[in-house]
Amino acid sequence: MEIGYKPYVDPAVESIIERIHPPRVCIDNDTCRDCTLVKVDSANKHGILLEMVQVLTDLDLLISKSYICSDGGWLMDVFHVKDRLGCKITDEKLIRYIQQVRMLSISENKMGSREDREGPGPCIGRDVRPWHVLTNHTALEMTTTDRPGLMSEISAVLAETGCHISAAVVWTHNARAACILYVDDPSQLPRLLSQLENVLDAHHCSGGSRSVMRLSEAGPGQTHTERRLHQLLAGDSDYEQCCSAPERGNGDDDGRCYRKRSCTSETYIKIENCEERGYSIVTIRSGDRPKLLFDTICALTDMHYVVFHASISSHDSKSFQEYYIRHKDGWTLNSEIERHRLTQCLIAATERRISHGLRLDVCTQNRLGLLSDITRVFRENGLSITMAEIGTRGDRAEGTFYLKDVSGQTVKPETLESLRKEIIGGTVLVVHKSPGRLSQTTSSSGEKPGFSLGGLLWAQVEKFSNNYFRPIKY
């Protein structure tokens, strides 16, 4: 007879507990020599772990280790964090912000208001959220079959009707694409939906290819953009090709331990049950990268699993994650089908953000139809977008694109030269040989190539003006 473990907590009592014992955050810069400890204790509720990790990752902090304990009605979590340069957090304004209780109280209304989300952004010199995440704009969400030129066709339809795109994020995985576009004037979108549907369906075969499109209203209830991209691709079943059939683990006689390997990455998943404690133990070994913990917790939370204990660490570009979980209804993973699906979804979560292809950063003056022009340049040069993040800062437009040629191969040097020739004025292109490594800066203004750790490009952008993409003739 299988037993489900589900402590009952009256919702009214749970609300009172949260108000009496709000989250407390302690910043410890003394215990560890090379990282800052962020210690959190709070009344426990479903989803609060994801909210904490989301806040830290939105602040561009790297989580190298984490110890999570949230059994019962209380949680005590410790995060080992560094900034993007691998240093401790020493900015007093940032430390004070992290310590603010309301930072971790966004669960009261999911995303919170724009003021809550951005919080004291100006006082720490930047927005809290990623620059491409907007909460005060209507979001147009799409999932469809990935193909070369897709973003060019979508943005061209919007540009032709005068619809301005303030930000856009695109992920591709397993031949599927998910896109979220933020628009300033949503009044035109309803009549554009049929045109966009025609674009999405134009290359579909009759064999069951599918596209989904919906509008998400601006407001406090809007889901975090990157979490929403995970949800869109998972809802599109992009995880189905992420691993082979289960293999029984060595030395396991009851058939409850399985190992699976991703088809496209070195990701290993092991799932077993701890009968005496009533947990399922999920072990994940994969390559390390920024926001990996956020992506994993997204998958577990959206599949309605509760993390009671966890240990996360990274070393030499490898990540080890171990979770003690139960389903939200109190049950462990007792069927092979359920384990197989969880394994697929976790591997997909680790893969979606892995950038493939050449990274190209673009910065220029913002204007109507800019995204359409940029993506048309890529399409005309035989390039396909594998991932993109585009946003605006005042009158400037900034974008990061990951590109491959239409055959999936690396972008050739002559193609980069062709891209450079398409740009006039002071538009800046920064080419990276690999994610996070700057290799070449190209600017039509004649500036010498420069090297940077990330912020140098945008610090130099203000030197330029009148940055426009040359109109492209058909």
Give the tens place of pLDDT for each residue, 11-62. 554 555 455 556 788 999 999 999 999 999 888 888 889 988 998 998 889 9
- 363 in any annotated domain: yes
pLDDT given for residue 203 in this prediction: 63
Across 441-466, b (16+ Cβ under 10 Å) vs e yields bbbbeeeeeeeeeeeebbebbeebee
pLDDT given for residue 124 in this prediction: 45
- Domain shared by 265 and 344, yes or no: yes
pLDDT given for residue 441 in this prediction: 41
pLDDT tens-digit series, residues 374-416: 899 899 999 999 999 998 887 888 889 999 988 878 888 888 8
HSE, CB side, 13 Å, CA atoms: give it for residue 357: 25
CATH of the domain at 66: 3.30.70.260
Name the domain count of the chain. 3
- 131 in any annotated domain: no
- Is residue 304 over pLDDT 70? yes
- Domain shared by 364 and 453, yes or no: yes
- Domain shared by 213 and 361, yes or no: yes
- Domain shared by 339 and 401, yes or no: no
- 2 in any annotated domain: no
pLDDT band at 473 (very low <50, low <70, confident <90, very high): very low
pLDDT given for residue 24 in this prediction: 84
- Is residue 105 over pLDDT 70? no
What does the DSSP 8-state code read for residue 243?
Answer: B
Are 185 and 416 in contact by the 8 Å Cβ rule? The answer is: no
- 402 in any annotated domain: yes
Domain boundary among 322, 352, 382: 352
pLDDT given for residue 315 in this prediction: 87
Average pLDDT over residues 161-169: 87
pLDDT band at 424 (very low <50, low <70, confident <90, very high): low
- Domain shared by 195 and 48, yes or no: no
pLDDT given for residue 295 in this prediction: 96
- Is residue 175 over pLDDT 80? yes
Q: Which residues share a beta bridge with 258?
A: 248, 271
The Cα–Cα gap between 90 and 133 comes to: 26
- Domain shared by 86 and 65, yes or no: yes
pLDDT tens-digit series, residues 220-244: 667 889 999 999 999 999 998 877 6
In three-state secondary structure terms, 143 is strand
- Is residue 148 over pLDDT 80? yes
- Domain shared by 153 and 257, yes or no: no
* DSSP string covering 93-123: HHHHHHH-GGGG-GGGGTT--HHHHHTTGGG
Minimum mean pLDDT among 139-143, 238-242, 250-254: which range? 250-254
pLDDT band at 466 (very low <50, low <70, confident <90, very high): very low
Minimum mean pLDDT among 96-105, 167-176, 190-199, 399-408: which range? 96-105
The Cα–Cα gap between 169 and 223 comes to: 14
Domain boundary among 98, 124, 150: 124
Average pLDDT over residues 267-283: 90
- Is residue 360 over pLDDT 60? yes
- Is residue 271 over pLDDT 60? yes
What are the backbone dihedrals phi and psi of residue 197, each rounded to the nearest 5 degrees, phi first?
A: -60, -40
**List of residues 6+ apart from 80 with CB closer than 8 A:** 32, 35, 36, 37, 63, 64, 65, 66
- 268 in any annotated domain: yes
pLDDT given for residue 260 in this prediction: 54
Looking at per-residue pLDDT, the higher value among 244 and 341 belongs to 341
The Cα–Cα gap between 301 and 160 comes to: 40
Domain boundary among 352, 386, 413: 352
Are 431 and 359 in contact by the 8 Å Cβ rule? The answer is: yes
In three-state secondary structure terms, 31 is coil
pLDDT tens-digit series, residues 182-232: 887 777 777 788 888 888 776 655 445 678 888 777 666 678 899 999 999
- 227 in any annotated domain: no
- 376 in any annotated domain: yes
- Domain shared by 106 and 147, yes or no: no
What's the chain's average pLDDT? Answer: 76
Average pLDDT over residues 159-166: 85
Q: Which strand (E) or helix (H) includes residue 232?
A: helix 225-235
pTM here? 0.80
Percent of the chain whose pLDDT exceeds 90: 35
The Cα–Cα gap between 169 and 225 comes to: 8
CA distances from 142 to 337, 385, 430, 462 (A): 29, 15, 28, 34
The Cα–Cα gap between 63 and 81 comes to: 5
- Domain shared by 339 and 246, yes or no: yes
pLDDT given for residue 194 in this prediction: 80
- 229 in any annotated domain: no
pLDDT band at 82 (very low <50, low <70, confident <90, very high): very high
- Domain shared by 259 and 175, yes or no: no
Q: The domain containing residue 18 runs over which residues? A: 11-124
- Domain shared by 338 and 417, yes or no: no
Are 406 and 148 in contact by the 8 Å Cβ rule? The answer is: yes
Nearest to 289 by CA among 455, 78, 84, 29: 84
pLDDT given for residue 451 in this prediction: 32
The Cα–Cα gap between 52 and 58 comes to: 10
- Domain shared by 52 and 101, yes or no: yes
